[in-house]
Chain A
Amino acid sequence: EDQVTQSPEALRLQEGESSSLNCSYTVSGLRGLFWYRQDPGKGPEFLFTLYSAGEEKEKERLKATLTKKESFLHITAPKPEDSATYLCAVQGVETSGSRLTFGEGTQLTVNP
């Protein structure tokens, strides 16, 4: 069974204070790891997909990296508008269809 654990549960940063969010996963074989951003009362917004260890992707102030056991979402010089819940999800090779297994998320607050 695929499992995802995210840490920390909540993170408060000052504007400009860089940090990283962690996503540890257990799958028999990884088909893909996904990062989403979710604002209160809205659906998750797609950020990145990573497929193999060593892969990195960037978008504005965000950079996602992947190892064989975990993924990191690095936030460089965050702004208040980066405040949201960040969700990590995996698809294992033994998962049929498009089913995603999600972690509980990290609630990020960036203070001005």
Chain B
Amino acid sequence: KAGVTQTPRYLIKTRGQQVTLSCSPISGHRSVSWYQQTPGQGLQFLFEYFSETQRNKGNFPGRFSGRQFSNSRSEMNVSTLELGDSALYLCASSLLSGVKETQYFGPGTRLLVL
């Protein structure tokens, strides 16, 4: 069974630009969560989508947004990029949401903002 895939793997942007990252969950998984990982803050929860609805949201500004499609694929968007948005963005999927389900992570998208 194929794992979680994320595209692109690497991205370089300049301040003020916007970026869209994509995540395809494991086949059959309906919950997709996004995390930001930085050396100083560790792994921080961004948001979760389940059946095309945002289920939960972390403490990030409104510049960070996401959506989920009917095939469970998800995208996250960051508008008006800042230098501090440089990070590894990780997507994780699980079969369901809110129960004892293990989340499986993708390889991540490394974003560098110059």
* Chain B contact residues, majority secondary structure: strand
Shortest A107–chain B CB gap in Å is 11
Contact between chains at A96 and B56 (CB < 8 Å): yes
Contact between chains at B42 and A97 (CB < 8 Å): no
Whether A101 is near chain B, meaning CB under 8 Å from some CB there, is yes
Enumerate B2-45 residues with CB–CB distance to A below 8 Å.
4, 6, 31, 33, 35, 42-43, 45
Contact between chains at B45 and A43 (CB < 8 Å): no
Given contacts A43-B105, A44-B90, A104-B42, whether A98 and B110 have CB atoms under 8 Å apart is no
Contact between chains at A49 and B56 (CB < 8 Å): no
Contact between chains at A99 and B48 (CB < 8 Å): yes
Enumerate A60-112 residues with CB–CB distance to B below 8 Å.
87, 89, 95-105
* Chain A contact residues, majority secondary structure: loop
| Total interface residues in chain B, CB < 8 Å | 28
Whether B63 is near chain A, meaning CB under 8 Å from some CB there, is no
Set B45, B55, B104: member contacting A101, Cβ < 8 A:
B45
Given contacts A42-B107, A43-B90, A43-B108, whether A100 and B102 have CB atoms under 8 Å apart is no
Per-position binary interface string of chain B over residues 90-105, scored 1 when its CB falls under 8 Å from any chain A CB and 0 otherwise? 1010100110111111
B contacts, CB < 8 Å to A: 4, 6, 31, 33, 35, 42-43, 45, 48, 50, 55-56, 58, 90, 92, 94, 97-98, 100-108, 110
